[in-house]
Amino acid sequence: MTADLTSSLPHHGFFAEVQSDDAKVLIISVAARMAGMHPQTLRQYDRMGLVQPGRASGGGRRYSARDVALLREIQHLSQDDGVNLAGVKRIIELEQLAYELQQRLADAEAATPMIAEGVRTTASAIRLAREVAVPMPICEEVGAVLFHGKPVAQALEALLARDPRPEEEAGVLA
């Protein structure tokens, strides 16, 4: 579970209007007024870990628009839905986890076409190597040259300068 519970939470829409506004610039009195709460309530929620405001150089709390939206959601859950604060904290944690998992899934789905293309390219290269019957000693020599820190161009020049061996003598990729 992440420590930052103030990140965007998905499906309730209470962060839809503030998804990118993370600037911690609001002093506690302004954030409390915007959330419809007393400043002492914000301090309590901070102590409980329901919201994590930033801190000014003098130690004063600073809230973002996202924090204010979270405070409104906490108020809604506790006052309108009757959820106690421990339950509210658990709901926020689970929604944060769901959001993070949705992000990871979206990232994986976005990467899937690139991975598939890489697999197709690799398979094509293997088929091509088999079709041209690249002798095993040549492949081993390229690997040895490259692993000894020589540039690829030197390895290729060395291979091109070599006389190819007959397939029977050299061994062939199957």
Task: Write down which residue in 132, 148, 164 finishes a domain.
Answer: 132
**Do residue 6 and residue 30 come from a single domain?**
yes
- Least confident window among 19-28, 30-39, 144-153, 156-165: 144-153
**76 or 165: whose pLDDT is higher?**
76
**Do residue 95 and residue 173 come from a single domain?**
no
Q: Write the Ramachandran bin of 31: left for phi over 0, alpha for psi from -120 to 50, otherwise beta.
A: alpha
Strand order in the sheet with 61-63: 26-27, 61-63, 54-55
**Do residue 90 and residue 49 come from a single domain?**
yes
Average pLDDT estimate for 148-164: 56
What's the pLDDT band for 162 if we cut at 50, 70, 90? Answer: low
**26 or 143: whose pLDDT is higher?**
26
**Do residue 12 and residue 74 come from a single domain?**
yes
Asked if pLDDT for residue 131 goes beyond 60, the answer is yes
**Do residue 147 and residue 106 come from a single domain?**
no
- Tell how far CA 53 is from the center of its chain: 23
| pLDDT tens string 11-66 | 444 444 445 567 899 999 999 999 999 999 999 999 999 999 999 999 999 999 99
Asked if pLDDT for residue 154 goes beyond 80, the answer is no
Average pLDDT estimate for 2-8: 44
**Do residue 105 and residue 162 come from a single domain?**
no
Kind and range of the H or E element at 63?
strand 61-63
**Do residue 77 and residue 146 come from a single domain?**
no
What pLDDT was estimated at residue 38?
97
**Do residue 10 and residue 54 come from a single domain?**
yes
The domain that contains 62 carries what CATH number?
A: 1.10.1660.10
| pLDDT tens string 51-100 | 999 999 999 999 999 999 999 999 999 999 999 999 999 999 998 898 88
Q: Considering its fold, how many domains does the chain have in total?
A: 2
What pLDDT was estimated at residue 149?
52
**Do residue 140 and residue 123 come from a single domain?**
no
What pLDDT was estimated at residue 99?
87
What pLDDT was estimated at residue 120?
78
Please answer whether residues 100 and 4 qualify as being in contact, where contact means their C-beta atoms are separated by less than 8 angstroms. Answer: no
Please answer whether residues 164 and 134 qualify as being in contact, where contact means their C-beta atoms are separated by less than 8 angstroms. Answer: no
Average pLDDT estimate for 116-120: 78
Domain enclosing residue 64, as ranges: 1-132
**Do residue 137 and residue 120 come from a single domain?**
no
Dist. CA 134–CA 132, nearest whole Å: 6
**Do residue 117 and residue 173 come from a single domain?**
no
**Do residue 72 and residue 112 come from a single domain?**
yes
